[in-house]
Structure 1
Amino acid sequence: MGLGDQQANMFSYNFVRGMLLLFNVLLWFSGLLIILTGIWMQTDFKYYLKISDGYTIYVPYLLLVVGGILVFAASLACSCIVRVDPTMLIVYGGFLIAAMFSLILLSIYIYDYKDHVIAGLPVGIEKEVKHYNGLGSISNANTTLIDYVQNKLGCCGGKNHLDWPKDSLPSSCCWRDDAAKNCTKTASGSMHEGGCMPKLVTLINTNLSSIGVMLSVLALFPLFAMVFSYSLASASRRMDYQSIS
C-alpha cells in the first residue's frame, strides 16, 4: 500500500472518529433535554394535565429514565471512542439501535397520551366543578386544580362560566385575584366568561405534539452515531490487519 493510500485511510479514520464524537456529544445533550422535559412535565405543566381524567403520573418519569440512560451511556462511550475499542464500539452500536427505537416508540406513546388526556378533559373538569369547595392547597387537594387552571388561562368552567352552579362562581373566575370567593355579583365585564376546554386543548395539543416531534428528531442522533460507531470499529480492525500484514 502506498503512502497516499495510508494517508487517505488515516484521514477517513480520523474523520469517522470525529463524527462519532460529535454525535455522541449531541446524544448526551439529547438525554439532558429529555430529562429537562420530564422535569417540566412534572412541575409547571403538571396541573394542566392533572385536571384531565386521562392523566397518568408515569409519562414524566419515563422521560426522566430514558434521558438519564442516554446521558449515562453517552458519557461512558467517550472512553471507547477515544481509545477506539472495536468490541466496545460494536456493543455501543447495538445500544444506539435500541435507543433509536426507544425514542421512536416514546414519541408514538406521547402522541397517544396526548389524545387520551384531551379526551379526558370534559370528565375531569366536570368532576372539579362538582366537588369544588375552594379549600386546601394545590399540593394536597384536587379541589384547587380548577382554580389554578382558571387563574393561569383566564377562563371559567369547561365550555363557559355557565358550567358553574348558579350563585357559586369561584373567585378564580373573576379578573381580580383579591375578589371574594363568590364573584357572582361582579359585573359581567370583570369575569372570565370563556371556558377552559378550548384553551386547555390547544395548550396540551401544542406542547405534547412538540415533545413528540422533538423525540422523533432526536432519534436521528443515535441512528447516525450507530453508523459511525460500526464504521469506526470496521476501520480500526482493517487498519490493525494492514499493519500486521
Structure 2
Amino acid sequence: MSDLHADEPHGAGLGARLNWLRAGVLGANDGIVSVASLVVGVAGATTDNSALLIAGLAGLVGGAISMALGEYVSVSSQRDTERALISKEREELRTMPAEELDELTTLYRRRGLSEQTARQVAVELTEHDALAAHLEVELGIDQHDLVNPWHAAISSAVSFTLGALLPLLAILLPPPELRVPITFAAVLIALAATGAISATVGGASPLRASVRLVVGGALALLATWLIGTLLGTTGVV
C-alpha cells in the first residue's frame, strides 16, 4: 500500500498549479486595492457617477494589462533561466559523466547518506535518468514542470479584473452618502478572505496574512480618500 496521502500534492504539474495560485492571489489583491483606492479617492472629490465609472474602468483595464505584462515578463525570464540551466547540465553530463556521478554522490552524502548508500543511489538514478536526478538534487528543477508565462499572465489578468469589479460595483451601486463606507467594508472583508485563503493553501497563519492585507488596504483607502476630499474641498477638481 502506498504511503502517499491522496490529499497531498505530488508529481508533475505542482509548479504550474502553484504558479497559477501565486499570480491569481496577487492579481486579485492588487485589483481590489488599486481600483478601490482610485474610486474612493475620486468619490472623496465628487459624487458624479460618470467620473467614478470612468476612473474605475480605466484603473481596471490598465491594471489588468499591466499585471498580465509584468507576470509574463517575469515568468518568461524565470523559464529562460531554467532552460539554460537544463541545457548546461545536459552538456556536463555528456562531456563529464564521471565527474557528474561523483558530484551527485557528494550531494547525497550531504543529505545524510553514507558513502556506500549515496554512491549506490547516485549510480541507480544515473542509470534511470541522469539529467532528472541532477536537476532535482542539484538545482531543484523538474524539466517536465517548468513555469508557464502565459498561464501566469492570464491568471493574473483575470484575477485582477475579478478583484477590481468588487470596489467598482461597491462605489457605483449604493446611494452617494453610503458609497465610501460600503466600499471600505467590502474591500476589507475581501482582503481578509483572500489573505486567509492564500495563507491556508500555503500552510501559513491565516490570521497574520489577513491582518497584513486589511491594515495595508485600509491605509491605502484612507490616504486616497483624504486626498480626494482635500482636493474636492479646495476646488482643485
- Please report the TM-score for the alignment, with normalisation by the length of structure 1: 0.35
Instruction: Please identify which structure carries the higher helix content.
Output: 2
Structure 1 or 2, whichever has the larger Rg, is 1
Task: Identify the structure with bigger relative contact order (alpha carbons < 8 Å, sequence gap 6+).
Answer: 2
